[in-house]
Structure 1
């Protein structure tokens, strides 16, 4: 919630108080609330009231590397109306949350590294007043929660999460971003895996699960990354032994047999295969970490150009000022 005098209007301007009735929502759901406006000393004309869902994203290009903000979607709650002196108006809004929205909260605990909020923007004749950002939590879908629980049950520990700009090869995306949830491996896999990066790409029918295993090298061999992808329907969430499913995924990625398979292995459609769901593929090439990485595997990333960013990259300070220090919390415990 925020209450702010509209700087674009000058002295004696209206004040705005945005109240979210939805503070936690799953991908594909809706955020609801009210924008409460109280008139100032004189009558004002407001062209639009715009609510945007935005998150912080890793931005890399050329020599630049840092954080920016990206809009995931927006709604126009009202437009072309006047606010009289001292008049109070309450404008309700209902904003859809994209299926591909990154997760920011699990079991009521914030994922370190994630930032998400609803920004209120008023458009007036003199310009725009972007206002502040109200934090909102995106919680996992049942399939996503099951996979997270499966990693926890196998001893994986949460390390960090962030949102990166780009597209995943072979995965249909509507947003030019993807989330990476990073895990430390348990002792039984510590000699084979440095870390695991998990990405969810959800849609109305199910969830694409993309895994990147950063595999350790031996005395006479270098380490490399192994990628796999699985398609899981929403109705498969209940009644599934997620600990066993995740264990199967990890064993496949770390097995000596799979380390020698060609990169296009397993691209065909499958069912409840050896340890996993849907169609999985492994890529055993070498890929660097960062925006420049590319490859032929199912998990390879194709960098997105600035022109392809939905809503554009906005100033990172929009988030730094409002959410300063939010990603400095302790380790997340499933």
Structure 2
């Protein structure tokens, strides 16, 4: 499906911009291909640049408040300055490199609740910057990520949703100023001891850093606390591991060490 947008960029009589994606689906580390058509208005203008950027919704926590905001990332300039005559069409083909750490928006064949992602086109004319609406983008898991997610499904975990939080994870090499948490309801075998399992992927061209967070249930004589686990998965060898067994073993050992699982 091709998403289109046609809008007036700089007021009455100004240029208009139409952005067309050849395919709105992608994976982290992949590309989005398409073209931007800038059409001149009723007077000549000097365009300073045309740029593209991915935008997602990010949760920000501070000592004063907690709020959501749009976060642009992976920004790329696709043209330098050019002159646009009245009524002239200027087509700009592009290949937008999707950052490796881009959050996922699609899982198990459906949209991931809580996630938004879009490609924004920005045009500057006479020092006035116009940012258009978002063209929706669907980000699917990489094979290594998909193997881990499928393993959780086989263990009986149920997808709850996801969010993106601003900040950096301790002990993890991270390029973007935010990270995604994918939330799962506990599998039946863990339901009496777990509230939730959260998974974070921080990916680069060679491997996926995986952060698991267990939100344990509190009881009459125990306090619910989070437990973290970290490991890396190489893209090239991910298919050689039994991830169902690996994840089940880690969760059981984490709970057993705290006397929550016999």
> Normalized against structure 2, the TM-score is what?
0.93
| Superposition deviation, residue 25 in structure 1 | 1.1
What residue number does 1:175 align with?
A: 176
What residue number does 1:85 align with?
A: 86
Q: What per-residue deviation string (whole Å, max 9, x for no partner) do you get for residues 87-138 of structure 1? A: 1111011221111111111244110101111100001114101111111111
Q: What per-residue deviation string (whole Å, max 9, x for no partner) do you get for residues 202-244 of structure 1? A: 1111111101101123332212111110111111222433222
1:259 counterpart = 2:237: no
What residue number does 2:5 align with?
A: 2
Q: Which structure is richer in relative contact order (CA contacts within 8 A, separation 6 or more)?
A: 1
**How big is the alpha-carbon RMSD for the aligned residues of Structure 1 and Structure 2?**
1.4
1:148 counterpart = 2:155: no
Cα distance between partner residues in 2 of 1:87 and 1:188:
65
Cα distance between partner residues in 1 of 2:59 and 2:110:
22
Q: What per-residue deviation string (whole Å, max 9, x for no partner) do you get for residues 151-207 of structure 1? A: 100110111100001111110111111100011102211111111111111111111
What residue number does 1:160 align with?
A: 161
**Higher percent of residues as strand:** 2
Q: Secondary structure, in 3 states, of the residue corresponding to 1:178?
A: strand
Within a 5 Å distance, the mapping from 1:70-109 to structure 2 comes to 70-109=71-110
The aligned length equals 256
Within a 5 Å distance, the mapping from 1:17-96 to structure 2 comes to 17-96=18-97
Cα distance between partner residues in 2 of 1:101 and 1:252:
31
Conserved 8 A contact 1:113-1:161: yes
What residue number does 1:117 align with?
A: 118
Cα distance between partner residues in 2 of 1:221 and 1:118:
46
Give unpaired runs (5+ residues) of structure 1. 261-334
What residue number does 2:131 align with?
A: 130
> Normalized against structure 1, the TM-score is what?
0.74
Give unpaired runs (5+ residues) of structure 2. none
